Amino acid sequence: MPDPTLWALRRRTLLASSVAGLSMPGLSRAQGPWPSRPIRFVVPLGPGGATDIVMRIIAPKLGEILGTTCVVENRVGAGGVVGTDHIAKSAPDGYSFIHASVSTIAIAPFLYERLPYDPQTDLTPIAPSVFVPLCLSVTTKNLNVTSLQGLIEEMRARPGQLSFASNGTGATSHLAGANLLRLTGCRAEHVPYRSGAEAINALVAGDVQFAFDIAALHGPQARDGRIRIIMATPDRQPLIPDVPSNTEAGLPDLKAYAWFGFFGPAGLPPEMVTRLNAAINEAMAEPAIKARLEQSGMPPMLGYTPDRFGAFIREEREFWPPIIRASGARVQ
């Protein structure tokens, strides 16, 4: 029969080891099924924008696949920086993620003098959601232009007198316009607005002469003749099939687009990243969701592993800085 004193000592030692093991970083997260409660997805911009719409389209199916509820939370401020920083500083427990855009991941580090997070070290790339090609439109109110070359000729004839709209300094719509000027050597004034809706209203009114944005936003006004879409990027788009691409229009080096994607805090357990990546790809490949996104002019970016998404982001961080410098944009 074992010595009672020795048995008690061994029991206390085993119990202490178990408690210590549970307190080890990462071990407690790995125990038990995930997810076991609702998952929160932060959208760092306001309700009704493209980032928010895509997240709300995907969320119900994503919750169904993962067997939980996916809660969408809008946490706005500083063009998406506030919400992105919040997730960067959240616990890596698998219950807080962000549906971010190229702006806060690949553009903000070169736009802001001081950024409270580092996208490379403070966030975990999981999967992209959609690619967002932009188109170039001109007003019909006070400009008789029917092609990209016509717009370039007009800008060269009146240097600095034309203006273009965007939905904010440093936004992809701003940088697309800056890139157009950089590649053509033209001059035009940038006029930032608070949203894409305000920018398109200014274009319709003739307050500005051209603007980049998604075809889904410009299409209705173009069909009514209030604006004219003169170029699609980077290829012809299903929503505006008769509009030439930038290559067909004579400017093959012009890139004008955005993208959205899912990120979590740094330090997420790899098994969570892998499972969420698979769930996102499955949700976006669901025929009804895929069709709805494509009809909105935002095709899903399917088949990306976390590693492939990370490589894509590194390429984006090399692409944008020259355009940002050319735009002169800088945020304190």
Task: Give the position of tokens 């590194």.
Answer: 314
Q: Which CATH architecture has domain 133-232?
A: 3-Layer(aba) Sandwich (3.40)
SS3 category, 263: strand
HSE-CB for 50 with a 13 A CA cutoff: 31
Cα distance between residue 109 and residue 96, in whole Å = 22
Asked if 43 and 99 touch (Cβ cutoff 8 Å), the reply is: yes
pLDDT of the chain along its 332 residues, tens only?
A: 434 333 333 343 333 333 333 333 333 333 458 999 999 999 998 887 889 999 999 999 999 999 999 999 999 888 889 999 999 999 999 999 999 999 999 999 999 989 999 999 999 999 999 999 999 999 999 999 999 999 999 999 999 999 999 988 888 999 999 999 999 999 999 999 888 889 999 999 999 999 999 998 899 999 999 999 999 999 999 999 999 999 999 999 998 999 999 999 999 999 999 999 999 999 999 999 999 999 888 999 999 999 999 999 999 999 999 989 888 888 87
What does CATH list as the number for 38-132+258-327?
3.40.190.150
Q: Tell me if 38-132+258-327 shares its fold with 133-232.
A: yes
Q: What is the CA radius of gyration of the chain?
A: 24
Cα distance between residue 62 and residue 125, in whole Å = 17
Q: Tokens in use for 157?
A: 């004839």
Choose among 181, 190, 222: nearest CA to 208: 190
Residues 6+ apart with CB under 8 A from 317: 106, 109, 120
Global confidence as pTM: 0.82
| Residue ranges of domains in the chain | 38-132+258-327, 133-232
* DSSP secondary structure letters along 297-319: T--B--S--HHHHHHHHHHHHHH
